[in-house]
Structure 1
Amino acid sequence: MTGLLDHVLGGLALGAVYALVALGFVVIFKASGVLSFAHGSLLLLGGYLTAVLHDDLGFAGALALAVLVTAAVAGAVDRLLLQRIGQDPRAAHVATIATIGVDIVLLTDLARRIGGDLLSLGDPWGDSVRELGPVTVADSRLAAIVVSAVVIGAVFALFRYTSWGLSLRAAAEDVEAASLMGVRLTRVRMIAWCLAGGLAALAAVFLAAFPAPGLERTTGQIALKAFPAAVLGGMASPAGALAGSLLIGLTEALVAGYQSDLHVLGEGFADVAPYAVMVLVLLVRPTGLFGAKGAVRV
């Protein structure tokens, strides 16, 4: 029973971090219809900046600057490249492909800089653990849950109570109608990209923290595990991204924890479990957990 609680708590912590990344996928898609495959490189950029700056600025200062710089880079990618492609639905497909190119360029440069090193981000939790009743949990996982909950709550408040959130919801419903009503679509989507970049940089801290060995050049690939979470939620639903992330995190943690009992599924099945869950859910609900069927006029 204690082992199960350990796995569940670890899964919740992992799912909370995945939710930060999945929300980035969702806000970008809602604002522009683009599926961003540059998220892995943005996450790695945020982690790398935190790692190289924390000695001079301290952890909090390095993280704050990394979030701001990563947000600015994400906004620049949209403003200087993707918006030049266009904003109609056909252009969104081209822009999606362009994000793959952006990801390759950024990952190549960051991988060259990191090399084979394991970088410490200087987080204050280190490898400390604490006892919560019968459960032993790393401080980094507790911090992941608390920080993610606060940030996700702030993002949901941003959606609900700000003019940008209203504009984002209007653009997601009908781009042409929103434009005719005076919504500045370029501004809405650039802020969405900035927000997604900042969330990815924050997620990097917890993905590289204990029990992970540190930041390495392959850390950005973990962002791809948040993609099934966004798809599970319906791709345009922030609440769905949160629910999908928790489901993916719990699934991965439980499968990894009971790998010896699931050997028939093959070694390392925990790495593909998120995608297996995505396929199974989509077979039952093709629009995702919180997705809605669109109406088509003929």
Structure 2
Amino acid sequence: MKKMKKTILLSIILLQSIMIVAQDKVQIRLTAPSPAASFEQEVGSAKIKMTYSRPLVRGRKIFGELVPFDKLWRTGASDCTVITTSEDISFGSNILKAGSYSIFSIPSIKEWTIIVNTDTTLHGETGYDEKKDVMRFKVPVEKSLNFYESFTIELNDINSKGEAFIRILWENTMVKIPIKSKEDDTIVALIEHHIIKGKTQDVTLLFQAANYYYGTNRDFKQAMVWLLEAEKINPQNFYYPNLRQKIAAELKEYSTAIEAAKKALALAEKDKMKSDIVTLKKRIANWEILLKN
């Protein structure tokens, strides 16, 4: 019995020792003062990636104090901010070739100078070489609607033409860099070559061109002409008059919209396209009311 008690006592002492040792090794991990961040975003046919660090305000005055005016800034914290593009894009008012680049800036009260540099290995401004710049341009300073505790870079306001803005935000300050994919220019050039100059009779190209003009809010009347040409070649295709009724409605040409919608409706009923039948009947009824008024 004494031996058993002694064994239990030794076990308790050993367990307590292990717990003490374990407690001695406990460490409190501090959060990073400037957390790393990255994002990827498609803009048109381009894939844009950005990596950067996000310093915090922490009660400090940022621009004009922590970040001095009229001096080179890493545009973030820690390692340099890097942008990567999969294809040539319009960046600011310049063409940025496909590849990876560091982003520096010179903040001022009313405008910032944005600097794009080929050296992506830098930590902060140390080692920055102006000779490696590929472009510099200015953007105006705007006041952000919200207060940004964390330094933020975001890519927003993407439209169907492959245009967007990179926004740099911190504290109550915002600057915007316009960017654009080459996709829109490529498609417009194809339309110019094959349809406008080449006078193609390819119904697929005619429809695609009209649909692109509709989607990018271009010349609606020209799109209508292409659709009518496509309908002459293939009068049994539902999608040609269906797109034409949408464009006519945008032009507020309701008589034309009704004519095109009725043509699309007949084709939809023939192929038993239930949801399209319901939609077209509602549109025709609404437009007929508008014309009566």
For normalisation by structure 2, the TM-score amounts to: 0.21
> Relative to total residues, which structure has the larger strand share, 1 or 2?
2
**Which of 1 and 2 has greater Rg?**
2
